[in-house]
Structure 1
């Protein structure tokens, strides 16, 4: 029971580079986020339960939540449906460059036989 409580308490723990940053809880179009800001970067951790969310559906909500919280303009969002980083253009400054990623995997989930699923992934 204690491990379950500790696991749930850590579900919005700060990612690398955002530890100790002030956090805000925001809701946008049914998605709940814990937001943390370091300069012109905002970390957005989605905390609401959702079955197989798609990044393309969640990322705009995270960007809007970050914009409303900071008063800056969201220029890009990267990450996955659970944890994203948003590059912000604030006070006339250009946004930070999009960090380079080693590899991106895109996966599709297909219904299998009975209660099983199949996943097909490819690298870009």
Structure 2
């Protein structure tokens, strides 16, 4: 039994490993609602990896929070989103958006005033 644990330990350590396109990019940690993501941006693509445990999350419930995290970090709109409840990828539509968050910092974000599918995302650095 101990042998099995040692065989699977390397796989468990890789649960928060980014895809090959995003390797070498420092993540920005963003919490939105009850989800926390490590977000990496490379040009017009972004990846959000949910790093907190949630009981039986569905993609439909987690996806809006993941998209908001990617939008906040990149300063761009999410044009297309795919993936699952743990790892999401997005194609970004970048315009003159808001300035991106800084890599290496952790942020606490809250969604305010949702109307017609839109809302304000207010993020402050964690102390």
Distance 2:28 2:13 in 1: 16
Of residues 60, 63, 76, the one that matches 2:64 is 60
Distance 1:9 1:32 in 2: 18
1:39 paired residue number = 43
Map 1:63-82 to 2 at 5 A.
63-82=67-86
Q: Equivalent residue for 1:101?
A: none
Query: Displacement of 1:74 after TM fit?
Result: 1.1
The 2-side partners of 1:75 and 1:29 are apart by: 22
Matched residue, 2:99: none
Taking structure 1 as the reference length, the TM-score comes to 0.65
Structure 1 residue 4, shift from structure 2 partner: 7.9
Residue 92 of structure 2 corresponds to 88
Deviation at 1:68, TM superposition (A): 1.1
Where 2:92 maps in the other structure, the secondary structure is strand
Determine which structure has greater relative contact order: mean sequence separation of CA pairs < 8 Å that are 6+ residues apart, divided by chain length: 2
Deviations 1:80-115 (A, max 9, x none): 1011101111126xxxxxxxxxxxxxxxxxxxxxxx
- Aligned mate of 1:13, from 11, 17, 20: 17
Supply the RMSD in Å over aligned alpha carbons: 1.9
Structure 2 CA distance for partners of 1:32 and 1:5, relative to 1, 3 Å: farther
Runs of 4+ in 1 over 6 A off after TM superposition: 1-5
Quote the offset at 1:70 in angstroms: 1.3
| 1:72 to 1:45, Cα distance in 2 relative to 1, 3 A | same
Segment of structure 1 superposing worse, 13-22 or 52-61 = 13-22
